[in-house]
Amino acid sequence: MVKGRFAPTPSGNMHVGNALCYLLAWLSARSQGGGVVLRFEDTDLMRMRPGAVEQTFSDLLWLGLDWDEGPAPDERGGAYFQSCRTEIYDKYFDELRVRGMVYPCFCSRRDVRLVSAPHESDRAAVYPGSCRDLSPQEVAERMKKRAPAWRLRLGDETVVFRDRIRGALSCEILREYGDFPIRRADGVYCYQFTVALDDALMGVTEVLRSRDLISSSPWQVYVQRLFGFEPPVFVHIPLLLDPDGQRMAKRDFSLSLREVRRHYSAEEVVGALAYLAGLLDEPHPCTAEELLPHYAPEKLPREDIVLPRALFARCGEG
Ligand code: GLU
């Protein structure tokens, strides 16, 4: 059975771009007779915003997007919050250590960023492998001064994965990306590692997310195959850009769902998003349920979508 997922990071307000992504993830899974998992990606507690979990539950339910597995809307913590899954990540990390597939890395500048999902604009440069071949003595010396981050030692291979919009994609992972950190020096596990494990352990078969995360997919597929898991199929959808053609950010309030909800009904928002995604010819009010017969991955645009100014024009009007 198809299993899709919502994987919000509760670091701010959901914006209409996030809403489009969750709507399409829900439609894709449900239109294939499948289910949806909700999982909060809250490993980096410093970035989390108070109230964002509550707001996410409220926004998803308001949009009419339910989930089959995940926390109940009054739950805070538990198996579907990554911050509560450290013991699971420890177990897989220890296995990699025993297999000699991770090494300590003392060049820490970029590690911090890779704890959260690296959206395209903040993609790290290829790691040159500076700490890959340190001798045991060098490691011991450096360990005395500071705790290391840990990187996965990649094999020189081509990773192939499938995208429902783009077909088969491949990547020479070591050359194009380089060894990547899976655990930060303070012990926090990095996005690529936790997402790959959770998608696999939760039985997710389809990952629909915005195309700016496409560069993360080869890493995640690589991690899943290391442990013998079958990777999911991906659907990397275009970005929804603001009316100025800029990427939306959770810190901008005007196109946040909180603001949109003050001016529009859920049916108006769902209809507008479906229109932007090519599922409706006109933006007319409708429910997510009513869209099910209209959903097909072939209809989704391949180019980024610039939000027409008129569509949510009432937002920000006091
Ligand atoms: N938690 C990530 C975000 O909210 C999404 C990660 C993913 O879909 O893999 O940006």
pLDDT tens per residue across span 205-222: 999 999 999 999 999 999
Cα 149 to ligand 1 centroid, rounded to whole Å: 22
Say yes or no: CB of residue 8 within 6 Å of ligand 1. yes
Cα-to-centroid distance, 191 and ligand 1 (Å): 9
299 an active-site residue? no
Q: What pLDDT sits at residue 111?
A: 47
170: its two tokens: 């491949």
The model's pLDDT over 263-307, given as tens digits with 9 standing for 90+, comes to 999 999 999 999 999 999 999 999 999 999 999 999 999 999 999
Model confidence at 122, pLDDT cuts 50, 70, 90, reads low
Residue 41 near ligand 1, beta carbon < 6 Å: yes
Residue whose token pair is 């981050």: 149
User: 24, 195, 206: which to mutate for ligand 1, most atoms within 8 A of CB?
Assistant: 195
Is the C-beta atom of 48 inside 6 A of ligand 1? no
State the Cα–Cα distance between residues 315 and 170, nearest whole angstrom: 41
pTM over 0.85: yes
Strands 35-38 and 3-6, by their bridges, are parallel
* 44 Cβ closer than 6 Å to some ligand 1 atom: no
Nearest to 80 by CA among 238, 204, 250, 176: 204
**What is the reported pLDDT for 124?**
62
